[in-house]
Amino acid sequence: MDNNSELKTETEVLVSAFLEGDKQAFNRLVQLYQTKIFNLALNYVKNQEEAKDLAQDIFVTVYKSLPGLREREKFTSWLYQIAINHCRNRYKKLSRRGYFSNLSLDDDETFIQIVGDEGPEKSLQRQNTIRLVRAAIDAMGEAEREILLLRDLQELAYEEISTILGIPLGTVKSKLNRARSSLKDRLKKNYHNL
């Protein structure tokens, strides 16, 4: 059984336990998904504190709405739907306030936490690559950026993305291909290794 299957199985057990009154099961659900949801939030708001607050709000909504979930096996897609809605709303709210225009590009280090034992030169090169990729993603449209985050950073399956975004599977494939091609074209201009 692979990691995804294990995660799915455990999630279903926990959701059932929570719905039967075991409130501790919710804490375990948070532990299972907090890193993914926090990173998703971070990719929208680009600030640790703001992302923490946003991700917590997402889980608060999940806690309150979970009793209304009809298909327990679709918890993950449902969780991401809530998360995406929260992220979009917070992103719009912050954009209206001019939050992102005040955010310096040099602040990237505040949320890129590179850990590892690679040498300083390689580490610098990797950081530079990440900075270029981030800049390319930020320059993309919301829909393109979203599908890239869901597929390549959140590692969600095509079917899950289809459910979360409410679009047909074929559209997911074509949109993802366009988004990745767009990323490639943007990086080509600045990244000689491509």
Q: Which of residues 135-174 bind other proteins (CB under 8 A)?
A: 137, 148, 151-153, 158, 173-174
42 sits near other proteins (criterion: CB under 8 A): yes
Closest CA to 33 of 16, 58, 1: 58
CB-wise, 52 or 74, nearer to other proteins? 52
Minimum CB–partner distance for residue 166 and other proteins (Å): 19
CB-wise, 3 or 113, nearer to other proteins? 113
184 sits near other proteins (criterion: CB under 8 A): yes
Three-state SS string over the chain comes to CCHHHHHHHHHHHHHHHHHCCCCHHHHHHHHHHHHHHHHHHHHHHCCHHHHHHHHHHHHHHHHHHHHHCCCHHHHHHHHHHHHHHHHHHHHHHHHHCCCCCCCCHHHHHHHCCCCCCCCHHHHHHHHHHHHHHHHHHHCCCHHHHHHHHHHHHCCCCHHHHHHHHCCCHHHHHHHHHHHHHHHHHHHHHHCCCC
> Radius of gyration of the chain from Cα atoms?
18
9 sits near other proteins (criterion: CB under 8 A): no
Q: Which of residues 117-136 bind other proteins (CB under 8 A)?
A: 126, 129-130, 132-134
99 sits near other proteins (criterion: CB under 8 A): no
Minimum CB–partner distance for residue 25 and other proteins (Å): 13
75 sits near other proteins (criterion: CB under 8 A): no
Chain residues in the site for other proteins (CB under 8 A)? 27, 30-31, 34-35, 38-39, 42, 48-49, 51-52, 55-57, 59-60, 63-64, 111-115, 126, 129-130, 132-134, 137, 148, 151-153, 158, 173-174, 176-177, 180-181, 183-184, 187-188, 191, 193-194
